[in-house]
Chain A
């Protein structure tokens, strides 16, 4: 038996070492972060002899840190629990905290990481819409060094992404915007342990509580990848928000989706839920802002 047909476990200490292992075992190597997606897949797929490359000991993938004036770095190995509880993330990127707090269950959140969530590239990944709405960049480390890629360009299809041979997600950089409101909502049947049927994240900057300076609308589980609803954003951006405008944006967002029908929901329902989610989120944003500007 050749050594490549044997399974093995590696615990590299540096990203370089991890990347070299990926190159050395192009077919059988698997990165494991929290394991919540990967481990069940491994046990389902018994025939394959895998080389497990654990990311546990990679310090470079850990931590949530302020980066300059208004940038925050989130290490790929940051768990959903850490994101949900981080004061920094709660303050500047509340929709990401919320999305993480809605992943699976407490124990799944203790294990699952944001890096795994994004690298797994499920259209329904809960942290993807907030990352899109916050204009996050993925930091990718490979043999040729490190690069930053806008998260929009990361996903290429269901379970597919741009990571090339030997490349590893090191983390994400998010930029904080003043005076902005953001929120995330997820629809499913149950209140926990639920993969989204449709999800949406809105990040919006308002002046005087009603004038939209900038907006990003991101959607999950309604296309082959998590997406931005760019046309819908255009409808609201640079305008004074009215209920009619919101409804129009919601309708346009709906048209930007390409959902599938599967056992969880029909394409039609997913589409309609996008409209309802977007409408609710933007309405909520403007009314919250209007309230606070009234108070303030």
Chain B
């Protein structure tokens, strides 16, 4: 290949380079200059993660050919700060305003903002949003990013609230500085000496028998180091609840995207070429893409051996239905018979993708003893190790998984994705192998949110009292069960609602189809169930002419009452949350205007449990290290709330706590991050460990001061006598002496498996799990305006109230709410992963899979409600997931209020809204 000689001035330094004609500036910066602060999120100009400033202008470095930049001056995020000590004002502002969540979009955002402010130093807020409109952020909802840029433009300084306590103030995340400097290492940023590249060959058919695979031409291609198929490796079935999946399809492929082979080679170009040389002989089988069709008796069977698969719970399985879950209470027939009004509705929802701006990446390396180290973007390093062991029949002791920084997880990084392929390739070629998913692979072959169908029927009295409800819900789980059974279980619990319903029957079905395997996206089942149930709730209220707010207040469950599955509600105040949302939006005073409407919806959620552990150790200087097997997928809980909790428990400053995390060799077990368990569960175990350490510190101090431990208090790393604070001794002094002189270091390790809450076993059948503790409620309300000429829905105001128990870090909590709402609005209005009639994904890119931009997301007004949970650390509850559940129902209800049109399918695109409006006009 011919190369071009170019000279680039990057961040003030001049480089002379040889590059191939077609190389993009992005590749040159990342691969040749090692400037990995510039990120790749799509490679096609659609996400803005690769933004740099080229001769003064912000541009997408993935769209520019390096030879075209000969002689140009380039500024990347690494060159933004004046030096090692000082940050650029934008960097400082991003940190202080909580504008950094996972940090993956941050470098690109900073570069867009910098070039914009250079040109327009005093912009309006709207102009800032326009300037950032080519930079997608999946975490933040943009509000705090716009705040950060605005603050720099108005030169206003920002003071974080500081208090006596570590709890309840907005301690900034300690890793944010790495993100704004562009030095944090995400999955694709890691490289190893001698590393080569891997890629997966995927099925071209949605359903087919594999007759033969010929890899010889690929094997013989120069530069190819390993070609692997299912024939070459020992495989074991794996899966969350039902073990129905193999790493490589061997007999059959079940969706367009199923892996049939993998290749490692010295360059990415050769890998791609080798994949094209592999010949797979398929015998196509009839495929089915619709869950209802798939449930019918004559549908093509996707898993012939369904009954033989290992399963972790008791349920019925038949045909393509892999889970049937029921919740039953009271006498349904009588309930309907006693009702004054009975109403039926159907609703459906689309496939939504986590669409983290960072895709999946894995790097595997085998050492001289054959032990494997895997760097992965996983949310669950320990589970990943177990899954790898199960699926590839490798002893757990031979695997070490270390989580990298995660550029957004949202439940998309919970399962085996790229990891096993990197492992088998690395084992075969004995070189480190890295696999980075492209954006289209993300959309083709990872684990998005389930498409669903709901049929809901309820009976009420004239005064609005709910008497009976019957629900059938169908989840299309794709080619493998994945997290389907658990999602259906959750959906059955949510469908019982937040209301008192004495007679109930909920039937949940999880069905295989020939599509990608659906997993657990943020708040699995939440948006779907809430859209159906809360839209239906409004229909019920409207039917009897009742204000939907009053209808809700009348039927809301109260503390001490039981949910549908029989969980007793403790530490909740649902009405308080609903009233908080209604007050914030001024529900009762909103004036009726043409095509303008208001809507609200509620979601109850649980705070996740599962096993975890933590070690808190005191260093010689009195600082503390927290060692946990958990990771942070971008929400920041591990860099904010958890250290704040530990600090508060110990009587130390949160700044003095260091973290060791997410490594199966160096930390102890954690189940993995998801299920809103970060602050609630990891925070709790860390608090327990800290409490033990404090006890020991106090015991030691009591001896020295000649008092009882109970007489002592701690603060800022000092232990002092409550009655006489002059009498004190420092953590440092005690710890140093314990390390060097007597007794050995002070530390505590705690393991913790939160118990599940009790439910009524008579009410449920076929559920994969019962109920977690830490019940919470969210209630959102909005005002929208519908354009009847085009069907566009404009959100004028959006309020989101959440009971989070205790706001350990209010800014982080707001960030979760704003980000969750923006994802929920995407689900409501624009995001839709489309499958064609051959099972192909029709829109595997950010151009047509539409994440909302900074110009589209309204400025959510978060309302924090605190009803402390006795079980959570300092009363805190989980928050991450429920934030994204209500928007579709809220917006649907508001559209109804504005126009009288009931939207029954998500996303409610302009075309679909317009279609409904036209239909009504024709009537």
Contacts and interface: CB of A to CB of B under 8 A. Distances in A.
B315 interface: no
A11 B657 CA distance: 56
Contacts of B911: 197, 265-266, 269
B116 A106 contact: yes
Contact of A107 (B60, B842, B853): B60
Contact of A189 (B70, B134, B909): B909
A40 B22 contact: no
A104 B45 contact: yes
Nearest to B268: A46
A195 interface: yes
Contacts of A35: 63-65, 68
Contacts, number: 142
A36 B4 CA distance: 21
Which of B131, B276, B790, B842: most chain A Cβ within 10 A?
B790
Nearest to B135: A105
Contacts of A272: 914, 918
Contact of A187 (B4, B269, B790): B790
A43 interface: yes
B740 interface: no
B5 to A, nearest CB: 10
Given A35-B64, A269-B911, A269-B914, A191 B856 contact: yes
Interface string A102-114: 0011111011000
A273 B276 CA distance: 43
Which of B22, B59, B62, B65: most chain A Cβ within 10 A?
B22
Interface stretch (B238-246, B285-293, B444-452, B844-852): B844-852
Contacts of A46: 269, 272-273
Contact of B133 (A8, A42, A191, A263): A191
A7 B2 contact: yes
A162 interface: no
Interface in B120-136: 130-131, 133-135
Interface string A2-33: 00001111010000000000000000000010
Interface string B805-844: 0000000000000000000000001100010000000110
Contacts of A43: 22, 24, 43-44
Nearest to B44: A40
Contacts of A231: none
Given A9-B21, A191-B856, A106 B847 contact: no
Contact of A190 (B1, B2, B853): B853
A264 B850 CA distance: 10
B46 A107 contact: no
A180 interface: no
B269 A111 contact: no
B134 A191 contact: no
Nearest to A30: B22
Given A189-B830, A189-B910, A106 B112 contact: yes
A36 B63 contact: yes
A195 B22 CA distance: 26
B785 to A, nearest CB: 14
A108 B22 contact: no
Interface residues of A, number: 45
Interface residues of B, number: 57
A190 B134 contact: no
B59 A52 contact: no
A260 B402 CA distance: 49
Contacts of B48: 105, 107
Given A40-B43, A107-B112, A193 B847 contact: yes
Interface string A249-270: 0000000000000011110010
A200 to B, nearest CB: 12
A280 interface: yes
B777 interface: no
Contact of B829 (A32, A189, A269): A189
Contacts of A104: 45, 134
Interface string A177-216: 0000000000101111101010000000000000000000
B726 interface: no
A191 B910 CA distance: 13
A266 B914 CA distance: 12
Interface string A72-100: 00000000010000000000000000000
Contacts of A54: 65, 67-68
A100 B496 CA distance: 51
B210 interface: no
B855 interface: yes
A47 interface: yes
A165 interface: no
Contacts of B262: none
B20 interface: yes
A276 B130 contact: no
B725 interface: no
B58 interface: yes
B57 interface: yes
A9 B65 contact: yes
B63 A192 contact: no
A266 B910 CA distance: 12
Contact of A52 (B21, B914, B918): B21
Nearest to A45: B22
Contact of A105 (B4, B133, B830): B133
7 contacts: A6-B1, A104-B134, A107-B59, A108-B45, A108-B60, A108-B134, A192-B133
Given A6-B1, A52-B21, A54-B65, 13 more contacts: A8-B21, A11-B67, A104-B134, A106-B58, A106-B131, A106-B133, A107-B51, A107-B112, A187-B910, A190-B830, A191-B855, A192-B134, A193-B133
The 6 A-B residue pairs whose C-beta atoms are closest, nearest first, are: A105-B134, A192-B133, A9-B21, A191-B855, A40-B44, A9-B67
